[in-house]
Amino acid sequence: TAHVDAYSMWHASTPFVFLNTIKSCERSRFDAAHELGHLVLHRHAGPKVKDAERQANEFASAFLMPEGSVLANAPVMATVDQLVSHKVFWTVSVAALAYRLKDLKLVNEWHYRSLCIEMAQRGYQKSEPNSASRETSQVFQKVFAALREDGMTRADIADQLAVHVNELDELVFGLALTALVGDAQAQSRPRRPVLQVIEGGRD
């Protein structure tokens, strides 16, 4: 849903993170790190919602933009254009980098507000400039490559999961099924035979 950025939970001893598939790569990475913060910091009990969100944001910011790395590479008295060019070093949004500079006291409050105003005027709240390509899962690629070798198509996989093909693409971010593009070709390949041993009694 476009109305939820991300969500995380523990199921028994396994952590799960659900990410919005519509957002930019940079914002999804921050959301993932934010949810990781919740999983690490607030598993058994946590502070009030507002404090928990602040702590998860601080965790994500420090995780993606370590203090030493930012101090060594970030511009001094940064402009918005400099933020746009430097953010690719950490693959974060321009807004996240600006806030991290303020948090590390590399820009003062007035400078930070000026940056935010200019970013808003440029429409960077809705559209991320110089956006990176979304990251892919090596696990998904291996799984779907193996399924393709077995002659399975996207339609086959969706049918077994009882979902529509388009929904399947969205659930895996549309990243891993490129190996299965051309379902007609995949269907033309013979499936591996399924052999079954049948034991019968004598007449």
For 166-197, the pLDDT digits (tens) are 888 777 766 544 444 444 444 434 445 555 66
Q: Across the chain, what does the average pLDDT equal?
A: 83
Find the range with the poorest average confidence among 34-48, 105-119, 149-163. 34-48
Do 27 and 70 reside in the same domain of the chain? yes
What are 47's two structure tokens?
């502070």
Domain termination site, one of 62, 91, 121? 121
Token representation of residue 25: 């790569």
With 70 as the cut, is the pLDDT of residue 75 above it?
A: yes
AA letter at 22: I
- Tell me, yes or no, whether 146 lies in a domain: yes
Q: Domain range for residue 153?
A: 138-188
Residue 40 lies in a domain: yes
> Is 69 in the same domain as 152?
no
pLDDT given for residue 47 in this prediction: 67
Q: How far apart are alpha carbons 190 and 122 in whole angstroms? A: 54
What is the rounded distance in angstroms from the CA atom of residue 128 to the CA atom of residue 54?
A: 22
Q: Domain check: are 34 and 70 in the same one?
A: yes
pLDDT beyond 90 at 143: no
Residue 78 is assigned to a structural domain of this protein:
yes
**The pLDDT of residue 169:** 78
Which tokens belong to 5? 């950025």
pLDDT band at 201 (very low <50, low <70, confident <90, very high): low
The answer to the question of residue 202 being in a domain is no
Note the pLDDT of residue 97: 96
Within-domain flag for 193? no
Give the whole-angstrom CA distance, residue 87 versus residue 130.
Answer: 9
Distance CA(85)–CA(133), nearest Å, equals 15
Instruction: State residue 105's pLDDT score.
Output: 94
Residue 113, pLDDT > 50, answer yes
* Within a domain: 197: no
47-72 per-position pLDDT tens digit: 677 888 999 999 999 999 999 999 99
- Highest-pLDDT range among 139-143, 154-158, 178-182, 194-198: 154-158
Residue in the block written with tokens 């940056």: 115
Least confident of 40-49, 118-127, 152-161, 179-188: 179-188
Q: At what angle do helices 49-64 and 94-103 cross, to 10 degrees?
A: 100
Could you tell me if 53 and 79 lie in one domain?
A: yes
Query: Distance between alpha carbon 50 and the CA centroid of its chain, in Å?
Result: 23
Whether 22 and 54 map to the same domain: the answer is yes
Q: Is residue 199 part of a domain?
A: no
Tens digit of each residue's pLDDT (9 = 90 or more) over 82-92: 999 999 999 99
Total tally of structural domains belonging to the chain: 2
Query: For 8-44, how does the pLDDT look when each residue is reduced to its tens digit (9 = 90+)?
Result: 888 888 999 888 878 889 999 999 999 999 999 887 7
Q: Is 93 a member of any domain? A: yes
